[in-house]
Chain A
Amino acid sequence: MSRRNYLIKRVVQALFSLWIIATILFFLFRMGLPDPTAALITEGLNAEQRALIRAQFGLEDPLWKQYMLFLTNALQGEFGTSFSYRAPVAEIVWERLGNTMILMVAAITLAYAIGVPLGAWLSWRRGSLADTLGIFVGLMFRSAPMFWTGMIAILIFGVSFALFPTSGMRTLPYDATGFFDKILTLDFLWHAILPVLVVALYYLGSPLLIMRNTMLEVYGEDFIEMARAKGLPERDILYKHAARNALLPVVTQLAVTIGLAAGGQVVVEVVFSWPGLGREILNAVRTSDFPLAQASFLIMAAFVITLNLLVDFLYSTLDPRVSFR
């Protein structure tokens, strides 16, 4: 199979997966979740009044009609109006996704920036106390649930020492017009430090261990022996030759992690009151806001699937041993 055909095939498969997910979600929500107007009863609305609202939401139409409408709209990138916000869903989702991604990308970058060189160094010092300690710490943060680390971080740095704010993305009120205007401030940075740190510490373990283990494997390869034979300094061998060749699994892991990051770490968003997509999607499901929930799920899925696709391509480009299947 030619490379181009392979690419096209994978993209089609990805789109097919997305369609399946969208369809499952569509019917799951409408048949399994409670009536979105149920909550209005407590506001004193009777059955007739609620039926009027359901009609506005388009929920009184036959299911297949709703489904067709949903599909045609989705194909045009149109996800409808949120039931609860009465605002276009796309707008809400993109904003929330932005908030989530800024947190996750910052944290993941930090984790890999520290984890990769540290892992390489640990492999060089394998068997030493530093190695054991490094593994221990990396695994320790990987073992602690993020919401707990977050709570403890808030307890120590937010409450006891009152060094950092403990909730939200910025001090309110504020004046900002665009997304970048919002995030390029010192205040934002101040709010982001604790959550970013907590997420980064959790992620630290995997690049660290992967790097360390791959390096150990690479040390056995012939070209390292050759370099040693040439009498190159150990430090050069480590960073110039071995590390470069050990990066592939780390990059793969990175792509997978970023792909899953769109889903965010719901618990971190909850603990730090971060207005991200993860929290929004929980709310949307809880309040049966079908359009919002569908769009959020689809965007997350699209993200993961795209990045997985990317990993596959990356592999096929970098590692000639993998054949195009």
Chain B
Amino acid sequence: MRMTKLLGSTILLAATTVAFGAAAQTRVAPIEIYTTTQSYDPIRYESAYIIADAWRDLGLEVEVRPMEFSTLLDRFYTEQDFDATVLGWSGRTDRLDPQFFLGTLDSRQADPGANNPGGYANADYDALFDAQSGEFNIEARRDIVHEMQDLYKGDAPMAVLFHRDEVVGYNHTTFTNLNAMAGEGLYSEWVPMEAQPLGERATLRIGGPQEPDNLNPLASTSVWGWKWMRMYYDRLVRLSPDVEPVPWAAASVDAVDEVTIDVTLREGMNFHDGKPVTAEDVAFTFNYYMGSDYSYFNAYLAPLASVEVTGDLSVRFNLTEPSAPFATITLSQIPILPKHLWEGIENPEELTPEQIPTVGSGPFVYERYDRGEYMSLRANDAHFYKENIGVDGVEFVIYADAEGVFTGLQTGQIDMTAWRMEPGQIPLAEGNENITVVSVPDFGYFHITYNTRREPFDDRAARRALTMAMDRERMVNVLLDGRGEVGGSVVAPVNAYWHNPFVERFEYDMAAARAELEAAGYSWDSDGRLQR
């Protein structure tokens, strides 16, 4: 193998010398790779340097520019002012449906601020995107989704670098039956409902370095706010640990036709202040969200035309167009708010923390939130799911950083981590006899996205060659210590149903990269610099 590569490059080199001087070619423009700072994410930071080294070997002038995270996002999404950027998408449960990740390559999302900053444009791909979105037959939809992955992959508009395992830990002497969930780790909505105490303390203590931006269901724009709020607000549907929709506050969800969905509520549900949960509350909530300035749920609510109350406990959702993800994603994300507490509030996004009605109907009841330190919930004894719940409350201890969380876990201050451990902590955790370490594969991904509007990334062959000149295997092995997997397509392998395992892989192969470039008319000048 080694020999062939060597041979290959020697031949190439000879060919290059011949090509030189045949036609006046200009050097390929220098490339800047944007990435996060080392403190924000050492993995992405080091990855960029690994990529840069290989690209330099290919004869390009490459510079890596680490940036503070918000600057990076601004440059990449808002200004689209970049050559190539190393970033990532987190794997949230609602992104298990392929809609979101496939949408990041849709050319209609290529405007500044939207999700396709690389500007990949492929009309066939866009057409297939629309086709899968309206396809209700799940197998037919899967075929389209597989085709889309095959289609974009050959064009290499970006490269999925790797999927990083979420490595979390819990104390197995205090609680049992903590089941990790892909995309959520241990801090899923199910763990507090399923965990069983082993010792005297029945309050599950979670620790993490992140905290909610706020606990206002009409202002929170962070996943950390919603991860907490979803425990005391019920939704019509919850996604099971296998990411199947389970009727929750809804007794039943029936599709009358492609654009009409009837939902019947469970009987006997009450808000934490004792008032019953009715169809009025559900209809109110959806209308309230649609009429508010709060945009976090807009994408989920987009297909919804109107909500009607059809009985004490039944509502009808009228959609503007068929939407495959509505019954799973939308109904599982929107909380049910008590109408009697919210209807009088005109500008809900301006509520101060004390003014927010924290009353829901969920399996836990809000108790307190001390910013930067601590949050707590107690179990709701009147909830329909009560019998299955083993804990008497949930507490969240907010630490300054991953260091603090780990110490908390080691010293028994907390029972589980809400966020992944740092690579250096994992062996220590594994060595601790009270701690169980769980590796949860992620379906989010880290990527390098090329700006297809700019040289040299406007050329398909160059993108393909540069993607081959990228030792992603090494990134996983060295940077992640093997805890992760080289990316195939934007739909992760762990998302087995939608993932197409037979897409082109672009394995690390410098000789192949050079061959690809040469076939496309590139050559190398006397300094070894790539030119065209």
Contacts and interface: CB of A to CB of B under 8 A. Distances in A.
Interface of A: 33-36, 38-50, 52-53, 55-56, 81, 84-88, 92, 95, 158, 162, 165-169, 171-174, 269-270, 273-275, 279, 286-288
Given A41-B77, A81-B352, 14 more contacts: A43-B222, A45-B296, A46-B114, A47-B112, A50-B113, A56-B349, A84-B214, A167-B400, A167-B404, A167-B408, A171-B413, A172-B395, A270-B400, A273-B400
Contact of B295 (A42, A53, A273): A53
Contacts of A33: 70
A34 B72 CA distance: 9
Given A38-B77, A86-B214, A87-B353, A49 B295 contact: yes
Contact of A275 (B70, B112, B114, B373): B373
Given A34-B71, A86-B216, A171-B413, A49 B296 contact: yes
B399 interface: yes
B295 A85 contact: no
User: Which residue among B112, B295, B411 has the maximum number of chain A CB atoms within 10 Å of its CB?
Assistant: B295
Contact of B352 (A46, A88, A273, A288): A88
Contacts of B49: none
Interface string B405-449: 001100101000000000000000000000000000000000000
Contacts of A172: 373-374, 395, 397, 413
A52 B73 contact: no
B247 to A, nearest CB: 25
Contacts of B73: 34, 38-39, 41-42
21 contacts: A35-B70, A35-B74, A36-B70, A38-B71, A41-B78, A41-B113, A43-B223, A44-B299, A56-B350, A81-B350, A84-B214, A85-B213, A85-B214, A86-B349, A92-B371, A166-B407, A167-B407, A273-B400, A274-B400, A286-B68, A287-B70
Interface in B370-413: 371-374, 376, 395, 397, 399-401, 403-404, 407-408, 411, 413
A171 B413 CA distance: 8
User: Which residue among B216, B374, B395 has the maximum number of chain A CB atoms within 10 Å of its CB?
Assistant: B374
A84 B213 contact: yes
Nearest to B351: A86
B100 interface: yes
A275 B400 CA distance: 8
A171 B89 CA distance: 35
A86 B353 contact: yes
User: Which residue among A41, A87, A275 has the maximum number of chain B CB atoms within 10 Å of its CB?
Assistant: A41
Contacts of A171: 413
Contacts of B216: 86
A165 B400 CA distance: 14
Contact of B221 (A46, A53, A165, A275): A53
A87 B211 CA distance: 14
Contact of B213 (A44, A86, A158): A86
A36 B411 CA distance: 37
B69 interface: yes
B399 A273 contact: yes
A165 B413 CA distance: 11
Nearest to A56: B349
Contacts of B397: 172-173
Nearest to A273: B400
B173 interface: no
B367 to A, nearest CB: 10
Interface of B: 68-71, 73-74, 77-78, 89-90, 100, 111-115, 205, 213-214, 216, 219, 221-223, 293, 295-296, 298-299, 349-353, 371-374, 376, 395, 397, 399-401, 403-404, 407-408, 411, 413
Given A44-B100, A45-B221, A87-B352, A286 B69 contact: yes
Nearest to A272: B400
A273 B397 CA distance: 13
A47 B111 CA distance: 9
A288 B70 contact: yes
A132 B231 CA distance: 63
A-B pairs with lowest CB-CB distance, top 3: A47-B113, A49-B295, A273-B400
A173 B371 contact: no
Nearest to A288: B70
A187 to B, nearest CB: 12
A87 to B, nearest CB: 5
Contacts of B222: 43
B219 A86 contact: yes
Given A48-B295, A288-B70, A273 B89 contact: no
Nearest to B73: A38
Contacts of A44: 100, 115, 299
Given A45-B296, A85-B214, A168 B404 contact: yes
Contacts of A38: 70-71, 73-74, 77-78
A171 B77 CA distance: 41
B104 to A, nearest CB: 10
A166 B409 CA distance: 13
B399 to A, nearest CB: 6
Contacts of B219: 86
Nearest to B294: A52
Nearest to A271: B403
Contacts of B89: 42
A276 to B, nearest CB: 10
A48 B112 CA distance: 11
Nearest to A84: B213
A172 B395 CA distance: 9
Contacts of A53: 221, 295
A231 B90 CA distance: 80
Contacts of A50: 113, 295
Contacts of B373: 168-169, 172, 275
A80 to B, nearest CB: 11
A84 B70 CA distance: 13
User: Which residue among B90, B221, B296, B407 has the maximum number of chain A CB atoms within 10 Å of its CB?
Assistant: B221
Contacts of A174: 374
Nearest to B400: A273
B227 to A, nearest CB: 12
A49 B113 CA distance: 10
Contacts of A55: 293
B399 A168 contact: yes
A41 B89 CA distance: 10
Contacts of B413: 171-172
Nearest to A167: B404
B192 to A, nearest CB: 15
Contacts of B298: 45-46, 49
